Amino acid sequence: MSETLRGQAAIVGIATAGVGEAPGRTSIELLGEAAIAALCDAGIALNSVDGVFAATGVHGLPAMSVAEYLGLKPSYFDGTNVGGASFEVHLLQAAAALYLGLCDVALVAYGSNQRTAGGRLVSLSEPQWHETPYRPRHPITGYAMAAARYMHQYGAAREDLAAVAVAARKWANRNPDAFARGPLSIEDVLKSRMISDPLTVADCCLVTDGGAACVLVRRERAPDLRQAPVYILGAGAALSHRSIAQMPDLTVTAAVESGQRAFEMAGIDRKDVGVLMLYDAFTINTILFLEDLGFCPKGEGGRFVSSGAIDPGGALNVNTNGGGLSCVHPGMYGLFLIVEAVTQLRRQAGERQVNAESALCHGNGGTLASQATAILGTQATL
């Protein structure tokens, strides 16, 4: 069963490129820069990559585009695109493909120049005909309706949402690579321009450029490479809907199922997870995922974050890079979660370093539609 995948593959190279603003560079160029740098980090030659996993906001056939651009002839490839969660899915697919011997070196890669290319969220996503007449603004409309419903159902306040943005900024202020740094208060968030009630511009992720990549090999080879390996202990994915009207309960995401699958495979307790990287496209996300992944009871997330539990030095180390809210968000953020988790587990995180042997990366895509969880660990967790 799924336990056989535990610890069978390891992330041995990571990199980002052009985080923030990368004027004059295209999405595939940023992806390529990150890929080459991640291979260099691992000490693996480009021409030994035989597994390609990619998704972007601009490539309809990403595995083909990436393989050609880098000059690869992969024996296994996967261009699954479920939005920002794609890369946690890719980790699972790559671990399975490596374990089965379908490939030996897997590259997961992403790139986007959406900030300098126009500053708007780019998406290949097809419109839903039963939504189009009402002119929803994707993706914020769905998240705003989830936030409104959550506040109605559980008595959460806008201050609770704001606490998520403030905690993310506190972490970003310890990360020299974060795009948005400087003071941010609850009042600042509340007074920011309202975009889609109850979410202000400060409740929304950044729009940046950026590429990211990671390289995986089987566990037998991992210890011989340049960096301390970070193993895939468990991973799981789940889909609940496509259009927000089809989401059964806007206060409960399919992270409940993806998290359950990942924890079952990993065989670790929630209390042993040292870093939580939760896809914070909007402030409501962090609250929903803390609950749905089992780190606080349903309906308590708002009070939990307002108590300082996710601030630096709080009960949980959440989004230590500053998150999509304050570090980087080039349209699909999922691979940056993985890069930060690996950076922390390698103890290369500088001023924001926490003491952790395992990390959870939770990706989210569409309007809370696709959920994918990956649990990573150091050699000590095997």
Partner 1 sequence: MVDRSETSGPEARFKAYLAEGRFMIQRGRSTGRYVFYPRIAAPVSGERDLEWVPASGDGTLYSITVNRTRDGNYNIALVDLVEGPRLMSRIEGVDTAPIGASVKARIAVLDGEPAIVFDVAEKATR
Give the footprint of partner 1 on this chain (CB under 8 A).
Answer: 129-131, 133-137, 140-141, 144-146, 148-149, 152, 193-199, 243-246, 250
Residues in a beta bridge with 237: 372
Task: Please answer whether residues 169 and 325 qualify as being in contact, where contact means their C-beta atoms are separated by less than 8 angstroms.
Answer: yes
Q: Nearest approach, Cβ of 288 to partner 1 (angstroms)?
A: 14
Nearer to partner 1, 202 or 230 (CB): 202
Task: Report, in angstroms and rounded to the nearest whole number, the Rg of the chain calculated over CA atoms.
Answer: 19
Residues in a beta bridge with 282: 204
Q: Nearest approach, Cβ of 264 to partner 1 (angstroms)?
A: 24
Q: Nearest approach, Cβ of 146 to partner 1 (angstroms)?
A: 7
Nearer to partner 1, 116 or 141 (CB): 141
Q: Nearest approach, Cβ of 135 to partner 1 (angstroms)?
A: 7
Q: Nearest approach, Cβ of 368 to partner 1 (angstroms)?
A: 12
Residue type present at position 345: L
Q: What is the largest CA-CA distance in the chain?
A: 57
Task: Please answer whether residues 323 and 164 qualify as being in contact, where contact means their C-beta atoms are separated by less than 8 angstroms.
Answer: no
Q: Nearest approach, Cβ of 261 to partner 1 (angstroms)?
A: 20
Cα–Cα–Cα angle for 280, 217, 29, nearest 5°?
A: 55
Nearer to partner 1, 221 or 298 (CB): 298
* Spatial separation of the C-alpha atoms in residues 203 and 181, rounded to whole Å: 15
* Spatial separation of the C-alpha atoms in residues 199 and 218, rounded to whole Å: 43
Q: To the nearest 10°, report the CA torsion of 82, 321, 8, 228.
A: 150
Nearer to partner 1, 24 or 134 (CB): 134
Helices marked H in the chain — which ranges? 27-42, 62-70, 86-99, 140-154, 158-172, 186-191, 255-266, 283-292, 301-306, 323-326, 334-345
Nearer to partner 1, 66 or 146 (CB): 146
Nearer to partner 1, 88 or 203 (CB): 203
Nearer to partner 1, 45 or 201 (CB): 201
Task: Please answer whether residues 257 and 362 qualify as being in contact, where contact means their C-beta atoms are separated by less than 8 angstroms.
Answer: no
Nearer to partner 1, 225 or 239 (CB): 239
Closest CA to 362 of 100, 95, 67, 88: 88
Q: To the nearest 10°, report the CA torsion of 210, 216, 221, 223.
A: 50
CA distances from 144 to 37, 131, 199, 243 (A): 37, 15, 6, 14
Q: Nearest approach, Cβ of 119 to partner 1 (angstroms)?
A: 15
Q: Nearest approach, Cβ of 136 to partner 1 (angstroms)?
A: 5
Q: Nearest approach, Cβ of 141 to partner 1 (angstroms)?
A: 5
Nearer to partner 1, 150 or 279 (CB): 150
